[in-house]
Structure 1
């Protein structure tokens, strides 16, 4: 199958996917320079693109092809996790406007909420209106953004797009004459728009892309042919769109991707780890690799101390706990002040807590003046938080078991694996939430090998605390 890859993981993923027999198409200049053989500029069945926060990738495309790509990506490491998007790219909905904001409206799709920019609707929308919309930009589950919607129904691609209700070819890059050249026409009732990538594509590739787009347009027409008016059916999904899956790479997976990239070009230890933590670091990483043909390799050679001094975190600054959940959500537990940063990757933060409720599993009340001291160590599968009252008396210790911690400049990231260990103020040690981990495995949110690792870590931590 054909796959288009973009972003900081492109070199590593290009190598892995080519090994699996996939054809990489529409390759970027750097990818073409690093690999032997030519890359075609034909239509991609699947697109793999790095997320805006560079924590992972979105995989969008034809269902069987996308599923095969996702299987390869989640096989990179134990902490590579994937979640299907409930509001996939290209899906067509009738939805109801629930709120109007400054630049657009919030639309209830039934499967979730979407954001409709006012500029993407020909008519003004108000709260309570029913609208027919299409998802044009999906959003990762760990991101707070809503998927972006448009009232124009289209089949969008890198080479060309078809617009429902259009009346013929646009005067875009390919020009009206392109249809005569490739001896093909868009489906009746749809207009064709040539995208920028069509400039480098062969005529055969454009003809194939138009044929595939016509097939998708026919599917959309069939689902909308007998559809009720939006006001009568909302919320409902008329067309499922393209398969859309989000893959999050944990620390182990990023280092495995380093290994794959190193087979192709000079790659410093922690290449993807550093780039995922700070966009400003990308140029520095590229500079180091350009100077060093054979940088030291291996996870143990990751220059945490240098990275932290250059980009953070730093003593006196703040860092948040990016508490990922096995279902893909991200919960920020709050920011703490950095007390110390050690060269071995240990960062100590302190948070002052508000009164109200009790501490999970410890069963003691949260009181005004309580302080939480958290020690995070890069690459460790767990981290402890010690709770003390205003006088410094210990109220208990909570050890969170998680995927390997990554201490980025302003956020420590990991995915919580449910099972945890607590030590009460009287010294009693207790392991908790095994049932939640079991349930996550049963739901398919945590692979069995990752769950086994979590249980092993919890057992070792409990033994150490007793």
Structure 2
């Protein structure tokens, strides 16, 4: 066995990421599915993984969990200049002392520190009320751009591919209790072993290694809890979880992943771009690739006419931020549709406040008219009053725009250009871009691209 980090990959990016990782000396892909075995014409090692890569529920990127997640992060960050990566502040497996800030119909919201968590009432044996202090464990991490909160549980576990240890004080094994008797290692006092179904097919050496690793983690948890004592200070991290990383792919990165996949199997133009936009499109993409070659350009018209958006429909504007979160600017009606890849969206604005950088009051009846073009590094929004009077134009510089069936997505790159109603042109927020680069949220190459785009727009508007 080499010293390379073992990585398991699942989801719509599997073939591309398997190829990207398998061609790097520092990684070894393991536990591949039969389809991947056939596609690469080789057998992959079945050994446990040091990091697991899975596509996020919204298909916009991947989550990476495991001790080697930071190393995988570096490799994925190099896929394309519009790939953003973050280390999760609430990683899976973290044990945290937290305070309940509010309760809702199905659960409670807890302050975990940098993020808030969600505790389903079914995950606690005790009644939970606002102001309670609890010791919880993160069981399901959530990407920073997702509206969802990490899910937590009051029962502490150690989860491994073959076995899970549960800290519930019973010590009684479940799943395949006879396995415990066959192995030299026993769970610590107060922990019980719950074996996975796949444990039936594993050898005793693999089972023993899995249990040894789980027991070692359980002892570490016991020590941390003993040293911390009762829940007092909140929020307080009792023990860090498994390193958890999120990677959010932009349009250029998806097309770079297409190239990786194309080295292995037939891949149509825009393969990952289409699959990321609509779950229904996956079967259509698979069919096209089975009967056609992969040459040509991304078929925006065919995809949008089949899955949307088209004229008369609505789309949300998902405004991503380099720090990781995503702001939904609202929904608008598609009033114009160009099969070449452009849509015009209109939104009625709510009164109150001012328009960023324009310094103009937002009034009742104002309309925002926005033009989005697939693949462009910028888009303009014209603000007009109810009488048609132009209040100003805001040109947002961003990663290449992706027009999905129900939303338009991009990541804002801070620097923007505005044109006031009197024709004055102004470039804004360069300082915010500089700060994002210094903070490590935006790579230098991407920042240079953003500045170049802003300069070109500024010069064009002044000419």
Q: TM-score, normalised by structure 2?
A: 0.95
Q: What is the CA distance between 1:267 and its match in structure 2? A: 1.0
Residue equivalent to 1:155: 158
- Give the distance between the partners of 2:172 and 2:299, measured in 1 at CA: 54
154-163 or 135-144: which moved more? 154-163
Find the partner of 1:133 among 136, 146, 162: 136
Which residue in 1 is equivalent to 2:205? Answer: 204
Q: CA RMSD in A?
A: 1.5
2:117 and 2:444 mapped to 1: Cα distance? 33
Q: 2-side partners of 1:211 and 1:171: how far apart?
A: 17
Out of 113, 121, 132, the position equivalent to 2:124 is 121
Q: Which stretch of structure 1 is more off in the superposition, 145-154 or 187-196? A: 187-196
Structure 2 match to 1:35: 40
Q: 1:319 touches 1:337 (CA, 8 Å); kept in 2?
A: yes
Match in the other structure for 2:313? 317
Aligned residue for 2:251?
251
Aligned to 2:357: 361
Report how many residues are paired: 457
Bigger mean CA deviation after superposition, 364-373 or 257-266: 364-373
Q: Does 1:103 align with 2:106?
A: yes
Provide the rounded CA distance (Å) in 2 between the counterparts of 1:202 and 1:72: 32
Give the direction of change, closer, same or farther, for the CA distance of 1:408–1:339 in structure 2 (3 Å limit). same
Q: Is the 8 A contact 1:41 1:202 kept in 2?
A: no
Report the CA distance between 1:169 and its aligned residue: 6.0
What SS does structure 1 have at the residue aligned with 2:409?
Answer: strand
2:376 corresponds in structure 1 to 380
After TM superposition, list the pairs within 5 Å mapping 1:380-459 onto structure 2: 380-459=376-455
Distance in 2, Cα, partners of 1:456 & 1:159: 51
The residue aligned with 1:11 is 15
| Contact 1:275–1:281, Cα closer than 8 Å, also in 2 | yes
1:178-189 → structure 2 map (5 Å cutoff): 178-189=179-190
Structure 1: distance between partners of 2:205 and 2:456: 60
Counterpart Cα distance in 2 of 1:329 and 1:446: 14
* Equivalent residues of 1:370, 1:390 under 8 A apart: yes
TM-fit CA distance, 1:182: 4.5
Q: Distance in 2 between matches of 1:74 and 1:223?
A: 33
Cα shift readout 1:341-368 (whole Å, capped 9, x = no counterpart): 1121111111111222221111122122
Q: Which runs of 5+ in 2 are unaligned?
A: none
Q: CA deviation at 1:180?
A: 4.2
**Correspondent of 2:92 among 89, 94, 97:** 89
Distance 1:43 1:169, change over 3 A: farther
Q: Tell me how far apart the structure 2 counterparts of residues 76 and 196 of structure 1 sit (CA, whole Å).
A: 36
Contact persistence 2:174–2:193 (CA under 8 A): no
Using the TM superposition, give the Cα deviation of residue 268 of structure 1 relative to its aligned residue in structure 2, in angstroms.
Answer: 0.9
- Aligned partner of residue 43 in structure 2, secondary structure: coil
Quickly say closer, same or farther: Cα 1:166–1:200, change in 2 above 3 A: farther
Return closer, same or farther for 1:446/1:367 CA change in 2, 3 Å cut-off: same
Does structure 2 conserve the Cα–Cα contact (< 8 Å) formed by 1:169 and 1:193? no
- For the residue of structure 2 that corresponds to 1:375, the secondary structure is strand
Q: Find the residue that maps to 1:143 and give its secondary structure.
A: coil
Query: 260-269 or 402-411, which moves further after superposition?
Result: 260-269
Tell me the CA shift for residue 181 of structure 1: 4.1
Are the aligned partners of 1:42 and 1:206 in contact in 2 as well (CA < 8 Å)?
no
Gap regions ≥5 residues in structure 1: none
Whether the 8 Å contact between 1:41 and 1:200 is mirrored in structure 2 is: no
Report the TM-score when normalising by structure 1. Answer: 0.95
CA contact (8 A) 2:301 2:340 kept: yes
Q: In 2 relative to 1, CA 87–182 (structure 1 residues): closer, same or farther, beyond 3 Å?
A: same
> Which residues in structure 2 correspond to 1:245-324 (within 5 Å)?
245-292=245-292, 294-297=293-296, 301-324=297-320
State whether residues 158 and 196 of structure 1, in contact with CA within 8 Å, keep that contact through their aligned partners in structure 2: no
Greater mean deviation of Cα atoms: 32-41 or 443-452: 32-41
Alpha-carbon distance in structure 2 between the residues aligned to 1:455 and 1:265:
37
Q: CA deviation at 1:257?
A: 0.5
Give distance in 1, aligned partners of 2:95 and 2:343. Answer: 46
Counterpart in the other structure of 2:56? 51
Residues 222-241 of structure 1: pairs in structure 2 closer than 5 A: 222-230=223-231, 232-241=232-241
Question: Do 1:42 and 1:202's aligned partners in 2 also have CA atoms closer than 8 Å?
Answer: no
Q: What is the CA–CA distance in structure 2 between the aligned matches of 1:200 and 1:419, rounded to whole Å?
A: 56
For residues 429-453 of structure 1, what are the alpha-carbon distances to aligned partners after superposition, in whole Å with 9 as ceiling and x for unaligned? Answer: 1111000000001111101111000
